[in-house]
Copies of this chain bind each other. A is one copy, B any other.
Amino acid sequence: MIEVAAAKAATLVEALPYIRRFAGKVVVVKYGGNALAGTTEHDALRLFAEDIVLMRLVGLRPVVVHGGGPQISALMDRVGKVPEFRDGLRVTDAETVDLVRMVMIGQVNPQLVAAINVHGSYAVGVSGEDAGMIRATPRDAGLGYVGDVDAIDPSLLLGLLEREFVPVVAGIGVDTEGHPYNINADTVAGAVAEALGAEKLVYLTDIEGLRRDVADPASLIRQIHVDDLDAMLTDGRIAGGMIPKVASCVHALRHGVHSAHVLDGRIAHVLLLEIFTDAGIGTMILGGPR
A residues sitting closer than 8 Å to B (CB atoms) are 2, 5-9, 11-16, 19-20, 23, 50, 53-54, 57-59, 75, 78-79, 98, 101-107, 109-110, 113-115, 117-127, 129-133, 153, 155-156, 159-160, 163, 165, 172, 174, 177-180, 267-269, 272-273, 276-277, 279
Residues from chain B with Cβ under 8 Å of A13 in the complex:
50, 54, 269, 272
| Shortest Cβ gap from A250 to chain B (Å) | 29
Residues from chain B with Cβ under 8 Å of A15 in the complex:
12, 54
Residues from chain B with Cβ under 8 Å of A9 in the complex:
268-269, 272-273
| Shortest Cβ gap from A157 to chain B (Å) | 11
Q: In the bound complex, what is the Cα–Cα distance between A153 and B57 (angstroms)?
A: 20
Most chain B C-beta atoms within 10 Å of own C-beta, residue among A6, A11, A106: A106
Copy total for this chain: 6
Closest to A277 in B: B8
Give the top 7 A-B pairs by smallest Cβ distance, nearest first. A106-B106, A9-B269, A102-B106, A121-B132, A114-B178, A105-B106, A11-B11
Closest to A4 in B: B279
Q: Is the CB of A57 within 8 A of B8?
A: no
Q: A103-B106, A105-B109, A273-B5 are in contact. Are A124 and B130 (CB under 8 A)?
A: yes
Q: Is the CB of A276 within 8 A of B12?
A: yes
Residues from chain B with Cβ under 8 Å of A11 in the complex:
7-8, 11-12
Q: In the bound complex, what is the Cα–Cα distance between A268 and B132 (angstroms)?
A: 26
Q: Is the CB of A132 within 8 A of B117?
A: yes
Closest to A177 in B: B118
Closest to A156 in B: B124
Q: In the bound complex, what is the Cα–Cα distance between A1 and B160 (angstroms)?
A: 38
Q: Is the CB of B125 within 8 A of A113?
A: no
